[in-house]
Structure formats: C-alpha cells, structure tokens
A and B are shown apart, each in its own frame.
Chain A
C-alpha cells in the first residue's frame, strides 16, 4: 500500500501540535442531564465563520458502531448520560467558541437516572459471560467449609498524558484525520460512516498515544467523527481538544465491578466448588461489554483448579458516561477478586496463603476452564523465586505474631505483607472482527533498506528496537537499515488494536514472519519485494485450547505498614516475578513491569472516584490524587527463564499489585480489605 502523492498536511506527533493556521476549533455542547428527552437547544447568535452542528447536520450515519454498541455521534431526541455530546460549535477563535458554548442552553425533560448496577433487571443487561462445569450447588452443599466474599473494584480514570481529541483536514480529495487511537482502522470506518463516504476517502494518522491504559480503543472514534464532520461542513481544518476537565468528566473510565464469590473447600482446604456472580457497570452504550464479560469470566478462577464452577459475569447499562476498557479489559478486577478470595480461603483453611495456592493451582490436564491445560500453571517456579527475594515467609510469620499478640485488638496490627498470583490472558482473537484480518507489511528495497508498515506504533523506543533487530536478523541486515514507517491507514495494513500486549504477541510475530518471508524470496525475486503477513485465524477443526495455555504468569508481593498516627498504608516494597516466555529485552520488560507497578499502587490508594451516586464532577477531579515519582517505593522485578514464544506482560502489574496490596492491608488491619481503591469506590455499600 502506498500513497500516490506527497501530503499537503505536515506530520504531527501530538494533537496539540496540529497547525492552527486557517483551522477552526470544535467545542462540544453537552447534555446537562443523565437521562431524558431533549426539548430544546438554544444557541447564541454566532458570528460569521462560526457555526453549530447538530445530529441533523451529520452527512452520513448519525450512529457510530462501536464494538457491540451503537453510539450516537451527536445525541438527538434523547440523552443517555450527563455530558453526552449534543451539538458542536465550530469557529476560528478558541475563546469565542468557549463563550458561545457557555451561552448555549440544552433543555432536557429529565427522567430518573439509574446509576446502580449491583442488582438489576434484565432490561439493563447488555452482555453475559459464563463459565460452567460440574454441579456447583451439589458440591457446595457437601463442602466442609464455604468461604464467601464481595470484592469491589471501582472506576478509575486513565488520566491520559494528553487529554483526548482529534483533528481533521482535507488533503486534496481525502480527509486526513489525526487521532490518538489504539485502533486507527476503526476510526477510519467510523468517520467514513459519519460522513457517508467510502473508507478509502478517509486517512487516519495516529498521533502519539502516551499512557493509554486501554482507554483509546473506541472513544477516539467518536471525537474523530466530531472533528471530521466539523472539517467537512466548514471546509477548514478542524481541531477538537478536550480540556482535562472534559476528559475526566466525560470520557470512559474503568468499568466498576462487584464480584460476589462463594468457594467450597474440602477438609484439606482444597477448592471443590466455586460460584461467582460478577456485575460490571458499563455506563451508557456499553461498547466492549462482550469482551469485558468474557475476559472477566475467564480470569475469575485465576490459575486454580476446581471441578465444579459457575461464573456468571454480567454487564449492566446505567446512566453514567460510558465506562469501559481499562488495562486487561475486565481481567484486572476479576484477578483482584480471585486473589482476595484465595487469601480468604487460605485463612479459612488455616494454611499459609502461598501453600494454599500451591495446593490449588491447576495442573496439566486440568479442565476447570473447559479444554485441558497443556502445561501446569507455573506457580512453583514463580513462587520459589518471589518468596525468596521478598522474604515473604519470614515477614509474614513475624507480622502474624504481631497481629495475634497485640495487646489491644481494637488497634490495627500495623504491618502486612501480601501475595498475589495470576495470569495475563492472551489476546487470542481480540482484534479480529469479521473480515478484518490484522496484518503487517515489510518491503525490502533495492538498496537493502527494509521498511515495516503496521497501523500501530511499536509502543516504545525499546519495542521499536526489538522490531528492527529481529527484522534485521531475519535478513542479515544491520538494524540501522530498518525503518518503521509512521502508521497511517493509507500506507499500512490494519494490524488490529494496540492492546492486550498484541504488539508483542501478534504484531512482533507478524513482523518477524514478514521478514522471514522476505528472506525466502530475496534471492529469487527482483527487488523491491513486499511481503504481507496476516494473523491466521484458528482453524475451527483445531482442538479447543484453554485460555491459560498461552498466558503469561506473574506473582507479586507487597509489603506495607500503617502510619502509626492516621493509619494510612505506606508501601515499603514491591517484588514481582514474571514468567512470560522468551523476554525480548529484559531491560525494557523490567522497566515496563516496574512502571506499571508504581502506577498500580496509585490506583490502590489515591485515585478515588465514587460514581455510585452519579457522574463525576469537578470536585472529583480536584481530589483525584495521582502518584508522583517520589511516592514510588522500591520495586524489584525478576523474570523466570523460559523458551516459549514471548507473551504479553503489560497487564500483569495492574492485575497483581492491587490484590497483593489488599492482602497485605488485610493483615495490617486484621480486617478484610475487599475494595479498591482504598476508601473510595464503595459502590452502593
């Protein structure tokens, strides 16, 4: 694929770098109510060169298809959440656009909004994921002990490096859309639909993503539609940049989850039955609901063996702004619940938590998740190293003595160390939708320059180096002879979303495969040669596989103590051991795990957001406390050597550090700590 002529629009790295000459700014008119019927939109008189855009002005489809949901590009008739875009105001002066927005009134005949999700009727259910095996009720009835718990993970903001936005400008006969997106081809499809044009008439150039925490899978498409419609109707370049406040208040957050478990144990403390009901608040419209419930259901059992299992995960639509994807798409909160439950089971069985896990992990052939496991879950390999480097055993015993022997039981013990273990599930077929087949192209030129084309950025400088080195190695070139073209939908094939570590597990392999293909053709065909490799669909005749087979595994230990005066937890250390196949760059992988662990701790204590009573307001933003570099404790990361193909690691810290923290906190408080973030999202409790 290549573009036929040089673009008239300069490349930009960030949306905020979009050239402003002749551009119009796009401001968003929003619903003041969470639910109701729009009765009127009163716009101020707009000067020349300014205009408003409502749903009626959208040239193509006014509904955007987004991963199982239909999201209005601009709401018309009804509104479904406070802040929902109802109209746009477009003009050349940012301040005048802001003034016009302030003077615009949207009147809504409000209806009673429903933000609850922990129990709901079928009318609001949007997706269900299940895992069933055996006879849970019978097994639970004969269990020696039943452990119950409700585990909650609240909403969290992605707090992107740059607030979201989009820009669009005509480049000859094509509309170029700049979008900070994990999935540029989805943006292209959405914009083409909204404009009523062919997909080929729209080019999407992704800008830098920054830290996205999987929040930029679908929402950028909506903003791109706004910028594109504005550019289309005003015939000028258009820039839409949300303020930090708008981004915090109105873009997606981690979907809050309540996981209610009952675990049946035999006399020896082994799991014999597991019954889990998971409720997920997906807010309005609920894109990705199917993926989230499916992945949550799979992660709900962790790496443990249990003959009788019933997991039902349900996504509930509410009148909050759309909630949705966060790192792992549902696996993080499910892992939190599973690992807190594991700790509670160990306590009920009166065995050490590491021993309980060792005795309950799934072995080769286990069928808890359906298909038999090809390999045993590697708890021992991970735990041996993890418990040694963290001195978990000795510390835990000491802290237990302090807990049990403290003179005043009303005062917390003050010290805790917690363990968590679990998988990062593979992306599997995520990113393959219908006819879309993720692929990568590589071209070797006559002067032996190798060009790689993918629609996603490598993700980091290290990841780019990995691509270059592996590509160079396949062809006997030097890495400096390899260039990675900036992604663009007119020059690169659809490589699928940059999510769930697909960059490592899918795209990197496609790059290698394409280069191997080039190597095979190199001396047989004339240069330049281009090879495209696509992610092969799993054959329908192939035996089904357990989702744990290609998982990466990790263990985390968190040690903390409580401030002696006010009782806030202070983390003293974090240790993480990972087994994730062949590590392509240890330094980069360790940096990733450490960075993610520091961020995950922030998610445990400071990033509190309670939406149980309704959507966020500016006070919530002001109080949303993000960790700073000085807050990071010592974090030790190690890897277990492994020859298996590389697996993803980008979710492990986010999944494992919070439950390890909660387990440590439970010991320090001598009370179960079943909610994350701490002291915040009590979600209806």
Chain B
C-alpha cells in the first residue's frame, strides 16, 4: 500500500507492506541509521522515534499506522533546540555513550524536556528506562536530565515531585 507521511519535516510517500515495521522502513528505505532494529519487541528502545509528538518504539509501529502522521527520527531531532539542550546537559555532566543507543537516549531525554507538564522523578526514571543501555552510568545520565529539566524550568529542581 502507499504510505504518505511526514518524516523529519518533509512529506514522503512510499509503497510498503502494511505490516512492515516502521523501524525497518526508516533504516532501509530512508537510510536513517540512527535507530537500531534490535529486539523487535519493544524491549530495548533503540528504535524510538517521535510519532505525532510521542516517544514510541518504531519496531512496534506497522507502516499502515503512520499514514498521515508525523515521524521525527534522531536525524530530525538533531536540528532542534531541545537536542541542543540535551546535548549540553549530557556534555556538562560528562555523560558518555557507546555509540549504539545514544540516539535513543537523547530522544528519550528530549521527550521529557518537551513534555507539557514538568516531569517528576518517576517520569524521568521511567522515560530514561525506555532505552536499555548497557554502557552509560545511571547517576550521570539521570543527573544530566534533572539538570536539563531544572534549566528549562528556570528554577530549583524538586526531587520530591
């Protein structure tokens, strides 16, 4: 079937099997190598994209579900202010990643900064746990996000929230 959607701000159209995974489409048809197609079960989180503004596992999204939707991958996310804020936060905290899950971690962090409500501690931990990351240091990653949330709110971060 023909799938028309918006990808990283541009209108795109392609023919695909209705059940073809969005993760495979993005990697193979559009060459978007940032996301990794690994567990194919919504477990590892390395394939996350924003689908109509929500952080989702693209391996769980079949092609037919993106018709008329807006998809943003890491390649599109990189040109946003939120990406800059996340990068700054991770850099300032000295966070290091292995090169495989970075994109997903950044996008998970970005979804927190972009959420309408200020994320609480539970939200931060739950959202950052979306990505199964074997390489980063938990306190540094979470500390960086807390700092970014604080910077965005312009005030002191209240861990009791």
Which A residues have a C-beta under 8 Å from some C-beta of B?
13-14, 16-17, 20, 159-163, 208-211, 244, 460-462, 587-588, 591-592, 594-595, 598-599, 626, 628-632, 635
CB of B94 closer than 8 Å to a CB of A: yes
- What are the nearest 5 A-B pairs in CB distance? A161-B100, A632-B138, A211-B134, A628-B129, A630-B125
Residue from B33, B38, B98, B128 within 8 A of A211 (CB atoms): B98
On whether the beta carbons of B100 and A208 are closer than 8 Å, the reply is: yes
**Are B129 and A629 neighbours in the complex by a CB distance under 8 Å?**
yes
Q: How far is the CA of A358 from the CA of B132 in the complex (A)?
A: 40
The answer for the CA separation of A588 and B137 in the assembled complex, in Å, is 10
> Do A162 and B96 have beta carbons less than 8 Å apart?
no
B142 lies within 8 A of chain A by Cβ = yes
Q: How far is the CA of A325 from the CA of B40 in the complex (A)?
A: 28
Give the chain A neighbours of B38 by CB distance below 8 A: 162-163, 244
Residue from the set A210, A599, A630 with the largest chain B CB neighbour count within 10 Å: A630
A161-B98, A162-B100, A635-B139 known; A630 vs B134 contact (CB < 8 Å): no
In contact, A461 and B129 (Cβ under 8 angstroms): no
The answer to whether B135 touches A595, judged by C-beta atoms less than 8 angstroms apart, is: yes
Give the distance in Å from the alpha carbon of A210 to the alpha carbon of B99 in the complex.
7
Question: What residue of chain B has the Cβ atom nearest to residue A241's Cβ?
Answer: B37
The 8 A CB mask of B97-123 against A (1 = contact, 0 = none) is 011110000000000000000000000
Task: Contact check, A594 vs B138: say whether CB atoms are below 8 A apart.
Answer: yes
A595–B40 CA distance with the chains assembled, in angstroms: 26
Query: A194 CA to B138 CA in the complex, in Å?
Result: 43
Determine the chain A residues whose CB is within 8 A of the CB of B94 once the complex forms.
462, 587-588, 591
Inter-chain residue pair count (beta carbon < 8 A)? 80
Which residue on B lies nearest to A594, using beta carbons? B137
From known contacts A159-B134, A163-B38, infer whether A210 and B98 are also in contact, taking CB-CB under 8 Å. yes
Interface residues of B, CB < 8 Å — how many? 29
By beta carbon, the residue of chain B nearest A590 is: B137
**Which B residues lie at the A interface, using CB under 8 A?**
27-28, 33, 36, 38-40, 44, 94, 96, 98-101, 125-126, 128-129, 132-142
* Chain B residue contacts of A209, Cβ below 8 A: 98
Flag if A630 contacts B135 (CB, 8 Å). no
Chain B residues within 8 Å of A16, by CB: 27, 33, 36
Query: Are the CB atoms of B134 and A210 closer together than 8 Å?
Result: yes
Contact status B36-A595, CB under 8 Å = no
Minimum CB–CB distance for A592 against chain B, Å: 8
Contacts A244-B39, A591-B140, A629-B129 known; A461 to B96 CB distance under 8 Å? yes
> Could you list 28 examples of A-B contacts with CB < 8 Å?
A16-B33, A20-B28, A159-B134, A160-B134, A161-B98, A161-B99, A163-B38, A210-B99, A210-B100, A210-B134, A210-B135, A244-B38, A244-B39, A244-B44, A587-B94, A591-B96, A594-B137, A594-B138, A594-B140, A595-B135, A599-B134, A628-B129, A629-B129, A629-B142, A630-B125, A630-B128, A630-B129, A631-B129
Pick from A14, A592, A626, A628: contact of B99, CB below 8 A.
Answer: A14
A162 to B134 Cα, complex, angstroms: 10
Please determine whether B99 and A630 come into contact, CB atoms closer than 8 angstroms: no
Docked CA distance A591–B143 (Å): 13
For A161, give its contact among B39, B40, B101, B142 (CB under 8 Å): B101
Contacting residue for B132 out of A17, A588, A594, A626, CB 8 A: A626
- B126 contacts which chain A residues (CB < 8 A)? 630
Closest to B37 in A: A16
Instruction: Give CA–CA (A159, B94) in the complex, Å.
Output: 25
Known contacts A244-B39, A591-B140, A594-B138; is A208 also within 8 Å of B99 by CB? yes
